[in-house]
Chains A and B, each alone.
Chain A
């Protein structure tokens, strides 16, 4: 039996008290019984002896008839302890002596019943005897006393009796009382010892054990600081030491573990741990974020619920054979989110072995690279466009110059072949082809953004209202053109020319798409869009509001496999000669240049809709001054350098007409020569950037060394980007893209001349 149902500090004293109580009861019964018996025995003896003496004396005196002596003797017993009554009865039943005067000389009838019956009883033997009453509270003593008989009697045979009754009750009560007093002492002593033991165990044992218990409980319920910190060399002190050391170690390892757990929990990569059978035991929050499955949904399942179906069975065979061999698997895989979307991960799966070297778990770490891939793709696309643009721009520039020469020569050839109709016919055909080439080059230039782009605050609404009037004619009458244009002013930072081209391209595509359609319909829509959560999800860096231009048709739509490629340059579904494959590329590039984006919805045989989003700006639209206002010169001298004769001379004529003086140079070197001969005579220089012998920029730098404040205007057939290589000396030069509108050129020259630079 284990005594564990009470704390020790109670158990020990209570056991002691219990023992004390039990032994007290036993002691009480034993001791009272023994004491009472001993008392009865000794009382009986004493009383018997006293009465024996009294009876002997009485008998002796009675034979001498000296009753006075008998009375004197017996009255000596009157004060004896416990004596209830003492009676001497003569043979004639007359009371000779009684402890009660009232009974004296009376018949025996007058005395107490118990005594009377005793005196009347005839003892079998004439000898004294003592006996107890039934309740043993009274002791009776009876002695036969011989009296003097008749004188004739030889031997006196008359017997009276001496009877006495002793009351034992008070003495017995005293005995009980004494035993109880001893018992009280005994119990008191035990109680004191118990209290002492309780105190001892409380301070030496229980209190200290409790401290250990409390700290252990506190530790178990999460208080890692809990320590018992008992002092002392006893066993409890050593237990406390051991516990505290253990707690230290556990705390350290729990902290370590917590660090690892929090690292895993806060990781951006998904981490999940499976058992050896592949059932998931743990997933981190990133897992839920990436896959959409909560921990509760994932735990206990095999990760194959993420399978996308994009990988062949051989992929998984290789995957498992690598893992089962104990090696780490790393690679890229495609999985499926809870919402059904595919996602791409770069994953590592590590088999974890137990102490015996047997694989017990697998830990998988997956990095979601879906966005990264999309970005990479975009970047690749952009780079492709960039290099293509450069290539195409370069080619187009050269071709343009060549075509200009060709067309000029064709003009001379036609003059010289007058009358030779067959030759003229060939020349016409060549010329036609030349124009087609020129048209194509124009498109190529547009694609490569080598056309001039001028961004201004543009009210797209009024612009659309204007433009629609012009482009309406490009849509056949058989096609229904529905317009839904906002009335509000939608101001964007835009280039009119590019937007015009965008619209033309989209309309051309739409128009082609609705050929053969029963009720062809093209709709153009312009409205303001506030960026909502969905839009922001797709374009995280979207601004708050956009102007949305939508061109849609009910044509035959675009097949899904082609959707991802339609913005690629030179990609076309039309037959050779019908399209350049640059239209949508141009649209894509232009929209990007406007910091916007395109959303395409298309369903085969139902139609397509291109939604173009242009960020709105909080500016007033730039008022376009339609009035041609030429700024005129007053004999100021302008130095012009261009290796193209046509360009050089045309600009010269325009400036002369406007009232300027001019000096023409064929390249940068000649320009520097003219300038250094008389630098102060020039008010501004206009330089082509790319020229043989000495380029425009180098020439400008040399001129600035001669005269620091000379105003410089560059003309270029390339993009602004080329200016990145321009040195600080000419950083303030104005750069204009070719071809330059003569009126714009005049305005700029007027401005710089007026400002003295």
Chain B
């Protein structure tokens, strides 16, 4: 009898204990329309806050650095940025294709510069630590320019407008919403991602250890993502209103952002991401890596295990 009492006392002691606090999964993004459905989901209360914490950066450079230094667990970035990150930290996994840029990324130049060839001898601002390098490389390929033909000034995305307006640069390799802002300031698009389809792809990157330890929360996060995509389709105005404060654009402008973007749903995601080294995204990443190696942007190919569709498969089964 007394032994029973003792056990129940101990059980009570354990049950009454303070649970260990959950380490939050920190997800870093810069400001980009393709990532906004995450913030839409947060504003709709669909994120498991504070267990999933969105960390807001103003440039991808900061995101990459934070991800590299493991002060972030999850980050949104372009595929090339992911390959870049992979060079220093091969233990990352691409778990979701968030958007595909078909015009949202662009090179804008002052009036008078009408084509890529005209960039010769000009100063071009680009966030070279991120997508900017890739964009400018691809633009130079397309425009048949040589590396010495133009002066590339590395400026983070949040400073693009200021740099352009100050006249310190002639062209800017940038993306929405800066693109719209510059267009309003009189800049014109001389090259955009629509010309290199399926190359500028935004993906969700996760440290592999986090994928293991926080799988439930990541699945929940992905679910919230697709839910937000649906919301954006079904209630575009409300969604745009909720996005406004971050994008600093009108509802109309916000919605216009998505014209240059494709947001693949679950099936499209599965089609692109699943299949390991057979997957389409792996193929394009190999192609991209080859190009980047040639340009000396990176030095090694990613392994096939960088693609991880397990979270998507989990979505598929729960649907």
Contact = CB atoms under 8 A, between A and B. Distances in A.
Given A99-B56, A177-B20, A68 B62 contact: no
A95 B246 CA distance: 13
B31 A101 contact: yes
Interface string A179-197: 0100010010001000000
B6 A174 contact: no
A79 B72 contact: yes
A177 B56 contact: no
Interface stretch (B11-19, B113-121, B186-194, B294-302): B11-19
A79 B71 contact: yes
Given A177-B17, A191-B6, A78 B55 contact: yes
Interface in B36-77: 50, 55-59, 62, 66, 71-72
Given A71-B158, A184-B14, A105 B56 contact: no
B31 A177 contact: no
B314 interface: no
The bracket for how many chain A residues form the interface is: 20 to 34
B58 to A, nearest CB: 6
Contacts of A76: 62
B167 interface: no
Contacts, number: 75
A5 to B, nearest CB: 14
Contacts of A348: none
B21 A170 contact: yes
24 contacts: A14-B2, A68-B159, A72-B59, A72-B156, A75-B57, A78-B55, A78-B57, A78-B62, A80-B71, A100-B56, A101-B58, A101-B246, A105-B248, A167-B50, A169-B21, A170-B21, A170-B22, A170-B50, A171-B21, A173-B19, A176-B18, A177-B18, A180-B18, A184-B17
B34 interface: no
A102 interface: yes
Contacts of A103: 245
A173 B6 contact: no
A311 B56 CA distance: 132
A558 B31 CA distance: 153
Contacts of A75: 57-59, 62
B28 interface: yes
B162 interface: yes
Interface in A123-180: 167, 169-171, 173-174, 176-177, 180
Given A79-B28, A184-B13, A187-B13, A177 B58 contact: no
Contacts of A21: 9
B26 A79 contact: yes
Contacts of B28: 78-79
A17 interface: yes
A173 B56 contact: no
Top 7 closest A-B pairs, CB basis?
Answer: A102-B245, A79-B71, A170-B21, A176-B18, A173-B21, A177-B20, A180-B17
Interface in A512-542: none
A343 interface: no
B156 A68 contact: yes
Interface in A1-29: 10, 14, 17, 21
A91 B245 CA distance: 22
Given A105-B248, A174-B20, 20 more contacts: A10-B2, A14-B2, A68-B158, A68-B162, A71-B158, A72-B156, A75-B62, A78-B56, A78-B62, A79-B72, A80-B71, A104-B248, A170-B21, A171-B21, A173-B19, A176-B18, A177-B17, A180-B17, A184-B13, A187-B10
Contacts of A14: 2
Nearest to A10: B2
Given A68-B159, A102-B245, A79 B18 contact: no
Nearest to B28: A79
A83 to B, nearest CB: 9
Contacts of B10: 187, 191
Contacts of A174: 20-21
Contacts of A184: 13-14, 17
Nearest to A84: B50
Nearest to A171: B21
A180 B17 CA distance: 7
B23 to A, nearest CB: 8
